Structure 1
Amino acid sequence: MERTTTASAADFLDRALVEEAAKKSGLLWVRPAGQPHARPLWHAWHDGAVVVVGDGAEQPLHGLAAGTPAALTLRSKDKGGRLVAFSAAVTAVAPGTPAWDGAVEELKGKRLNAPDTDTIGDRWARESRILRLEPTGPLAPHPDGSLAAAPVPTPVTTRKPIPAGLPKLLFKKKRRS
């Protein structure tokens, strides 16, 4: 009995961490199942899940589809580093439903520089998709090493070091007359 209580408390805390991180960060990294790389998407948190809008004139969703699981990574808003990672079930939100209306209201507030703020929900219903990414299972463990990719090899190099006197020229104080 004690074990169940501890597990449910840990699940509750994990869920709270995911919710708080999703509400504070405007960007997350999504890697649909079968895709080699994660891609950044802007999002909103609504009704216990991350919601994203894409395709049409909005951000491309690159392989993210209803019924396909995805791995999500949320970043820290202040430092920008990896905060929490988890898997999510992806479902489509149907236009005209209460879930659609709620998701549109949340996303509309996060959409910067929309050309049609008043009618954005109608445009999204015509040409875009709203997907709901609901957290499933436990949080993913933090990696032991860096996940940074190695730089691409290139023949371009710096020709020579900067001249020793250059910083003095750039940062010298102007004389008062």
Structure 2
Amino acid sequence: MTAAVADAPLDRALVEEATKKSGLVWVRGTGPARPLWHVWHEGAAYLVGDGPGEQPFPAGLTDGSTAEVTVRSKDKGGRLVAWTATVTEPAPHSEEWEAAVGELRNKRLNAPDAERMPERWARECRVLRLVPGEVRTRLPDGSLAAAPLPTPATTRRPVPAGLPRLLKRGRKG
């Protein structure tokens, strides 16, 4: 369901406040949605990624494309609002790019190269601007749960041979 024209200012305010306060937004291009960290700056969400050591973007996020953005509650993690975004990619070192990178740099945690990060982002990464379009305040009733995306990371390993004995011994004592 789309927002009514009369509610547009309220919907825009909801999008802005929810996106500002949320640490992650779920972004869907042409493939599965991915959680991405972002900053809200000058009426749009800015993302940095697709480079070494940075978050991977979902398929289909290109300059001029559209994306589906779902914003979650920072407190409970539930969906608050969903909106369609127009994707633009500012040119590296342009005025818009520099302003966005300044905001992104302040929010980037645990960067190994904080001083040289903007230069690395210009060389190896992409900075995207997601401009809100159509706002959907009525969200689907279902969970929209999806299978996890494939990854080389794993935590499953065979149980060490001595572990069952150690656990059994610990219960007796």
- Give the secondary-structure state (helix, strand or coil) at the position aligned to 2:36: strand
The root-mean-square deviation of aligned C-alpha atoms, in Å, is: 2.0
2:44 match = 49
* Partners of 2:102 and 2:23 in 1: CA distance: 15
Deviation at 1:148, TM superposition (A): 2.4
2:77 match = 80
- Name which of 91, 96, 119 aligns with 1:94: 91
1:26-175 mapped onto 2 (5 Å cutoff): 26-32=23-29, 34-35=30-31, 37-57=32-52, 58-63=54-59, 64-139=61-136, 141-149=138-146
Deviation at 1:124, TM superposition (A): 0.4
- Give the secondary-structure state (helix, strand or coil) at the position aligned to 1:117: coil
Give unpaired runs (5+ residues) of structure 1.
1-5, 152-168, 171-177
Q: Deviations over 1:139-173 (max 9, x none)?
A: 2521122222489xxxxxxxxxxxxxxxxx98xxx
Which contiguous aligned blocks of 4+ residues in structure 1 show a shift greater than 4 angstroms?
Answer: none
- Give the secondary-structure state (helix, strand or coil) at the position aligned to 2:106: helix
Q: What TM-score do you get using the length of structure 2 for normalisation?
A: 0.77
Q: Deviations over 1:3-27 (max 9, x none)?
A: xxx825x111111111111111111
- Asked whether the equivalents of residues 28 and 58 of structure 2 are also in contact (C-alpha less than 8 Å), the reply is no
1:7 match = 5
Deviation at 1:81, TM superposition (A): 0.8
Give unpaired runs (5+ residues) of structure 2.
149-169
Tell which has more relative contact order, 1 or 2 (C-alpha 8 A, sep 6+).
Answer: 2
- Asked whether the equivalents of residues 28 and 67 of structure 2 are also in contact (C-alpha less than 8 Å), the reply is yes
